[in-house]
Amino acid sequence: MQSDRLERMKELAGLLREASKAYYAQDREIMSNREYDGLYEELQALEQETGVVLADSPTVKVGYEAVDELPKEHHESAMLSLDKTKDREELQDWLQGHEGVLSWKLDGLTIVLTYSQGKLLKAVTRGNGEIGEVVTNNARTFCNIPLAIPFKGQLVLRGEAVITYSDFQRINSEIPEEENRYKNPRNLCSGSVRQLNNEITAGRCVRFYAFSLESAQGEEAGGSRMDQFAFLAGQGFQVVEHELVTQETILDAVGRFEGKIEGFDIPSDGLVLTYNDIAYGQSLGRTAKFPRHSIAFKWADELRETTLKEIEWSASRTGLINPVAIFEPVELEGTTVSRASVHNISILRGLKLGIGDRITVYKANMIIPQIAENLTSSDTLEIPAVCPVCGGPTQIRQVNEVQSLYCTNENCAAKRIKAFTLFVNRDAMNIEGLSEATLEKLVDRGFIQEYADLFHLDRYREEILEMEGFGEKSYQKLQDGIEAARKTTLPRVIYGLGIANIGVANAKMLCRHFDHDLEALVHADVETLSAIEGVGEVIATAFVAYMQDPENLEKLHRFTGELEIALPKVEEGSQTLSGMSFVITGSLAHFANRSDLKELIEQKGGKVTGSVTGRTTCLINNDVTSASSKNKKARELEIPILSEEDFLAQYEIQVP
């Protein structure tokens, strides 16, 4: 059975990835080389047999590539929204005696995929329904998308790109600062799919679930939606969960879907009901806004009335103070709820809140507690003039028409604790044994004032051993973690500083651009940083502002004095492109994508930028005679334009 073979392929891919992770990243073996090779060969054989190759298969490598912008493209047929209802009986009547297919309405980003000759040719977002963005490079990195399928004609299908709740929580757990965490999986998915650098997309584990077949050239995929789902599943696609229903069975089916919501890992905001008979559904035509072959069912929000007891003000590393509503506990969607984020001052004022007000609460998408309405609207709540943590003065600041509350005290304990939490996390200094709760105790006792102090906690050995939860074993584990952290890399240091908008990827990018030279980074100006591809003025301004603060600079030098910062290993005589700057455009023949060539150039000491300037050594473009803007600029500046072949020959570079 094709479905059994596909399940075995997924199982094998998971086992092989886990084995590789253990061997290469964790320095341990969970299977012998012989076992690994056997599973790998079995997977290769199944891929050959089924014609399906999944994007996360260890047998393929999806190259990373950065683009300047996402191209736009018109859809062949408009992607309309669906009419909707919250009434179950109305949903039942809609069938009018016909069979229907009921499925989840997933809450992500709708994408159209096109395959040709069995290979993924194109991926385009829904956009405004008429014009979408081409995200093919990003789609190739989705966790579960087939890069190759057995069907060799042109195939067009639609589906939803999503990020599961478990992956969403994993991604957020790696971001210590609450205000920098993503708000919901849908927005994170939308941003991930539309990244200009697909390496970022790859790290988000975006998944694709097919929900409709648009066309299959020369193939009779069946005259029903159920047949089409079966056909797509046979091609290796994960299809949205669905069920065949009639007017008599649909209400029970809705109940079954509803019963799965609490443990359902994929964001969903309802159900979709479609006529099973495709020809019948298409014969009904459309209104000006909606097709008549399908209808969406939205869950009616379960509202509960309760009383607002207090507003808790939660301070963060950047000084942002978030309001959280605390109310009399109520039962919502099977769980007890007593808290809901109010997000910012603008929303708080819009709700006209006051302690003791009667409010209604619900779970957005049956997951996230929210205040629906304030029935009292007393508008008596006072916004704190001082920080709840340090007692320092607060200030309301407006950014993009949204007002938020901030603590203005630079020495606020909350800021310091959150900053230290980021500093010790695994992507920064990676110091084990330092939870936020432990850091809070160390800061309260005055043991830690700045980053350098973390490397001298041995001064307080006796006091730490007396702290709750600490003994000789846990103290020694902490000291071992601190000593191990002394040997680190510059990107970890830069990320650990907690500079606004400087994430792990940006820290690596900055360090690579300045050849891992800390002093060059410290003295870089906004103009220089802004010119780096992928940085921009916002990040550059924040970085320079941090480095120009004398206090920040003193603390930086004090704690880097505690470290052994390792430089990337460079083979002797390999830096043949040192001091040269290149621009790459167009498609390539010898490399999977531009990122592979960029990496090779950087390994040899060269730099790759996104735009042609007077400092560019040469423009690499296989279409040397094209009238593109980069070619035109190169000619104006008398910069050589070399084909890929000429570039490799001129600089005596061997393709790996």
The single-letter DSSP state of residue 134 is B
Kindly state the tokens that stand for 2.
Answer: 């094709």
Cβ atoms within 10 Å, residue 77: 12
105, 418, 607, 630: the catalytic one is 105
C-alpha distances (whole Å) from 131 to each of 72, 80, 120, 126, 528 are 7, 12, 20, 7, 36
Compute how many other C-beta atoms are within 10 angstroms of the C-beta atom of residue 638: 7
Question: Is position 122 annotated as part of the catalytic site?
Answer: no
Please give the distance of CA 222 from its chain centroid, rounded to a whole number: 37
**CA-to-CA distance for 364 and 372, rounded, in angstroms?**
9
Strand pairing report for 100-106 and 268-275 = antiparallel
φ, ψ (nearest 5 deg) of residue 499: -70, 135
What is the end-to-end Cα distance of the chain in Å, rounded? Answer: 40
Beta bridge partners of 245: 100
Helix ranges restricted to H, 248-344: 250-260, 278-283
The Cα–Cα gap between 273 and 89 comes to 13
Distances (CA, A) of 338 to 301, 374, 383, 509: 17, 16, 21, 43
**Residue bearing tokens 């990040």:** 539
Which parts of 259-418 are beta strand (E)?
268-275, 294-297, 304-315, 320-332, 335-341, 358-364, 368-374, 394-399, 402-407
Among residues 529, 495, 515, the alpha carbon closest in space to that of 607 is found at: 515
Which residues are catalytic, by number?
Answer: 105
